[in-house]
Chain A
Amino acid sequence: MNQQQMPSEGFWSRLINIDRRWIYLVIGIVVFIPILFPIGLPVQVTKEVQNVYDRIDSLKAGSIIMIPMEYDPATMAELQPMAYAILRHCFSKGIKVISTALQIEGVTIIKNDLELIAAEYGRKYGEDYVFLGYKPYPGIVILNMGEDFRKPFPRDYYGNLLDSLPMMAGVYNYSSCAMIVNINATSGVDYWINYAHTRYGAPLAIGVTAVMATDYYAFLSSNQIFGLIGGLKGAAEYEKLINHPGLAMRAMDVQSIAHSVIVIFIIVGNIAYFSSRKKKG
């Protein structure tokens, strides 16, 4: 009996202490395969994303939205599809956009993203969108923009005086914007909530990475933000709403399968744990 138990106990112990690289390999494979062979799993829209879409959709052409974007090459994969979807929604409706990039590593990416989507809809710089660029210390910049955009940014990213841009005529601060949709992968999102919304009363929605999203449901239920787009799933929902499927919707297959595999790992880990414990008596 003991002789029969030994290999079995060894198996469960080995399974518990499996070389982590096997786990990495499995994750690598399940991430890679759906990219090659898409399944097209359906995406369900959540109310926090629907709220953002509805608020933007209710605006008339010519309204101004502020879309500050703070992501870098590391978080670009998660937030860029979200930025594309929201910019597409705005530019397709003739809504004007003011943007900033308060994370130094992402300035070039965000400038390129704005130019790319604006060109898709034939929108002109200075008339349909303005990019203010980067200034250090986001909290202070956000506070100053609450007074006047010209305080931290007398000139835009390209060196133009703000007063020389037709779109900025009569546009002073957040109160000139219908809302702020902050796409942010940093803790700087707290500054937008504390200063832009709480201090200056700007209606605010946020788009954050999936891991950050859980932290901001508290702000959603306290109405400090009116919408929350979380990670690639949120971006996929927005792509579905604007009827422009993109990278995020394709990535939903990958995310679904990867999550399922992690759940299987957890189940297997628990079976191994309890089996080895049972065997040990």
Chain B
Amino acid sequence: MNSSRRQIMQLGAGAAVASLATSAGLLPTLAHAADAPGWNVPLFEAKSFAEVAKIWGGTPTESTDVSIIGPDIAENGAVVPVGVKSGAVGVTMLAVVVEKNPTVLAATFNMTDAAVPNVATRVKMAQTSNVYAVAKAGDKLLFSKKEIKVTLGGCGG
């Protein structure tokens, strides 16, 4: 665990030096130099759930049709297992929003007809926070929330 972390730190450092050399200090603009097609920059830079909801163009309503699966207490904020499930009809998107992260939106999952609205992943959490599971069904935004306590922050420490 420790040795792999060290390797990755070194890789990161190497990359930093390399990009400094090639771009002569243009690091901040490099961060989004090659965004994947369709990747919505303002959405992922939003600082609050309200801002994210505004970009999606809906008013979120709390609902039992969507549920969040996660631990009550996460010992390591760098790896918090989170699942989102929805029983609503016509779900086109699921998303995970961590309220107190520097950028709140962690992930969106775009459903097709074949996909079952039930996904899971692992996210980083900076500190104890409400985590929102969001489902978009038709033009409605449904959410449910859960507070996950973090005993060790996930920003690398």
Partners in one complex: no
Interface on A for B, CB 8 Å cutoff?
none
Interface on B for A, CB 8 Å cutoff?
none
